[in-house]
Chains A and B, each alone.
Chain A
């Protein structure tokens, strides 16, 4: 095994494989379920799934790196999905992004040093009337300003640290 291969508990995949392994064209679904289980797609999981679904690892990797939903590294405790759709862009999403990046000292796609936040910009969350919008985990925050975004993050941080 190579140095960046973790040792994941592969038995967690049993149910998923039972349901989908033999269903043609289910690779994406299987990867989605695997990511739900592990929070991301560890390398050994990808190899294991390749073996179990009859695909080559290159093929599974090709799919896993094609879609933005899949992550090959763990994410922070809170995933910030900042919408960069047209409406959000027109209403100042760039400034919000800059404020978040400055506050967390990270760039898009990175995780903050304390592991609390990961930032991912997304194409459109479809809440255009509330633009600019971000989702943190399951919650949506609309009509953002740079200040408001930082306040929200500060609040979550305080809650996490408490």
Chain B
């Protein structure tokens, strides 16, 4: 029998073998002490400074990996000083850890869709796998792939080489392929929770929340005032961009999860909020922003003046608004583009876009502007409606104030200013004001709202002033944004609601991540491969009907495009101990930002790629190679901050002694080492 000692760790009395280290005793008793440079079969090293603990009576912190427990010791693993010291270690490590946990595409996507993940699946011709990954964040991939202004592509690092990947189109491609094959990718539904959730609004936010809440075993009912579900995707996006048959399929999939859809139900008219609250354990308000913003211009009340989203909704409902031969659209956003191209398709001869700035400032997507131009839309930049002139109560013309760009403001944005006395008059039969959208609080009178009229909800918990009532999407706080933003918020709200139903309070927090700062120079020498071009129907053909403009990619095109992905995100994100701790300790990665140590990536070990940028010099690989593999191929080179780990040192040679035992890769606590297939 070994001699025994008695100690306490975090107040817990423990009997342990004499001679054991504090770390081993704690671990055997279910108390985790963080560490980054320790492996049980190697001798303690003491580099990371993570395993420090406080022992009563000891002036210094002890490194638990090597300190042997003595009888009577009272140990505190999470004393204030130990936590502070650990946090500093992590902050220092992160200041010298040059890697991307996730690709910039994922980070820039409001819903943090794992673009790199599904692009890899597409590249492997595994479309179902791709859709599965997409649906972890976006339950409407075919629809969103078509309509999303894709912030992911804006952030794509390929822009440093040539052009961004066509990520959105690939997303739609994968979803289309799966749908065409007659398959559905659906989540496994968890056990029935016995709880029910009422969702007000069946748009992208409401549907996403329904999907994830249903997945978690809750009974979900969606209430929507319109005849069909889909919200703005159905009533705000024209058919030629998103064929509704495709949307129907995706909505049907959500329904198949057991979600109850109730259409033509308007809050405050057909049912009250109170009634919905009474019939559900939790309520999510996601009823969007459905009112067009007025521009406060004389003549706005004339017949023949339409709101942008009102106009699009009417068309979507199958009505034909009277816009006549000549029409104009006021605004420069995507709604304006949708409206002008729709007007063209309704048969208007002369369609103008009135925008008070220039093309450069237009918030609409480039491709939309280009396609509208191809279809014959006339752009009248630097003009602004001064008065809508009527005759017999009907629109006859618009008087436009000529504008010019003023001096740049603090943000460098140049505001338009009127040119004194310069006006143009444009003859018109109708005018469509696409200057924005706002909320309608009808039916929600009891809820406090912002100045904009949006419902006030907590940014992190999505809770409103009413218990059990949550709100997300366009109807909340800052108001309308893009669909993926509404989906992102709804996903997080769903998590919050799920937690609420399980009796815990969850406050949503973005995880701590490492992000690289890159420059164009870093991409010099990368082989250039141009971005795939989405084929479209000819302008004169497509502008006459509402058939889809885009013809879609071929499988080969899609696979090749997906292969362009630079895989910026770290392969090891899920297993990385460093980032796990950094997140646990909520560290500020930039707190001690400064010079980074010498950086390089090398593959001298043939099947092992070593990325020094991510190395934290724990030396586990060196010690594994020397002590376990008995090879001693890896070694520390240099001293102090500039120390690096290198296999020998002849930079141009492959190391033949390496037997690819992979012990180093397995030991690495970060993504610095990676097994590669050659």
Measured CB to CB, the residues of A under 8 A from B are 2-3, 5, 43, 55-59, 61-62, 65-66
Known: A2-B651, A2-B652, A57-B648. A66 touches B635 (CB 8 A): no
Per a CB cutoff under 8 Å, which of B638, B651, B652 touches A65?
B638
A57 to B650, CA, bound (A): 10
B interface secondary structure, majority = loop
Point out residues on B near A: beta carbons under 8 Å.
Answer: 631-639, 646-653
CB < 8 Å: which of A3, A55, A57, A61 contacts B652?
A3
Does the CB pair B652–A58 fall under 8 Å?
A: no
**Min CB–CB distance A42 → chain B (angstroms):** 13
Nearest to A2 among chain B residues (CB) is: B650
Q: A56-B632, A56-B633, A58-B634 are in contact. List 6 more A-B contacts (CB 8 A).
A: A5-B650, A58-B632, A58-B633, A58-B637, A58-B648, A62-B635
B581 to nearest A CB, angstroms? 28
Using A2-B650, A43-B650, A57-B649 as known contacts, say yes or no to A65 and B639 having CB atoms under 8 A apart.
Answer: yes
Using A57-B648, A58-B648, A66-B639 as known contacts, say yes or no to A2 and B653 having CB atoms under 8 A apart.
Answer: yes
Residue of B with least CB distance to A56: B632
Bound-state CA distance A62–B625 (Å) is 15
How far, in angstroms, from A2 to B632 measured CA to CA in the complex? 21
Q: Which residue of A lies closest to B653 (CB)?
A: A2
Main secondary structure of the interface of A (DSSP, over half): helix
Instruction: List 5 A-B pairs, Cβ < 8 Å.
Output: A2-B653, A56-B648, A58-B633, A62-B636, A66-B638
Residues of A within 8 A of B648 (CB): 56-58, 61
From residue B635, how far is it (CB to closest CB) to chain A in Å?
Answer: 3
In the complex, what distance in Å separates the CA atom of A147 from the CA atom of B65?
A: 55
Q: How far is the CA of A5 from the CA of B652 in the complex (A)?
A: 11
Residues on B with C-beta less than 8 A from A55 are 632
Q: Are A61 and B632 in contact (CB under 8 A)?
A: no
Nearest-Cβ distance from residue B503 to partner chain A, whole angstroms: 56
Of the candidates B635, B639, B653, the one whose C-beta lies within 8 Å of that of A61 is B635
Name which residue of chain B comes closest to A46, CB basis.
B649
A131 CA to B515 CA in the complex, in Å?
A: 47
Closest A residue to B635 by CB, please name it. Answer: A58
A61 to B645, CA, bound (A): 11
Distance (whole angstroms) from the CB of B97 to the closest CB of chain A: 22
Contacts of A58 in B (CB 8 A): 632-635, 637, 646-649
Residues from chain B with Cβ under 8 Å of A66 in the complex: 636, 638-639
Q: How far is the CA of A148 from the CA of B638 in the complex (A)?
A: 34
Q: Among B631, B637, B646, B648, find the residue whose CB has the most chain A CB atoms closer than 10 A.
A: B648
Q: Which among A57, A58, A59, A62 has the highest number of chain B CB atoms within 10 Å?
A: A58
Q: Which of A2, A43, A56, A59 has the most chain B CB atoms inside 10 A of its CB?
A: A56
Residues of chain A within 8 A of B639, CB atoms compared: 65-66
Closest to A50 in B: B648
A78 to chain B, nearest CB (A): 26
For B638, list chain A residues within 8 Å (CB). Answer: 65-66
Contact B633 A61 (CB under 8 A): no
Residues of B within 8 A of A57 (CB): 648-649
User: A58 CA to B633 CA in the complex, in Å?
Assistant: 6
Q: Which residues of A contact B651 (CB under 8 A)?
A: 2
What chain B residues lie within 8 Å of A56 (beta carbons)?
A: 631-633, 635, 648
Give Cα distance in the complex from A43 to B648, angstroms. Answer: 11
Find chain B residues with CB under 8 A from A43 CB: 649-650
How far in angstroms is the closest Cβ of chain B from A40?
15
Contact present for A59 and B632 (CB under 8 Å): yes
With a CB–CB cut-off of 8 A, which chain A residues contact B636? Answer: 62, 66
The smallest beta-carbon distance between B622 and chain A, in angstroms, is 8
Q: How far is the CA of A56 from the CA of B651 in the complex (A)?
A: 16
A100 to B557, CA, bound (A): 62
Least CB separation from B625: chain A residue: A58
Q: In whole angstroms, how far apart are the Cα atoms of A119 and B424 in the complex?
A: 75
Q: How far is the CA of A55 from the CA of B633 in the complex (A)?
A: 10
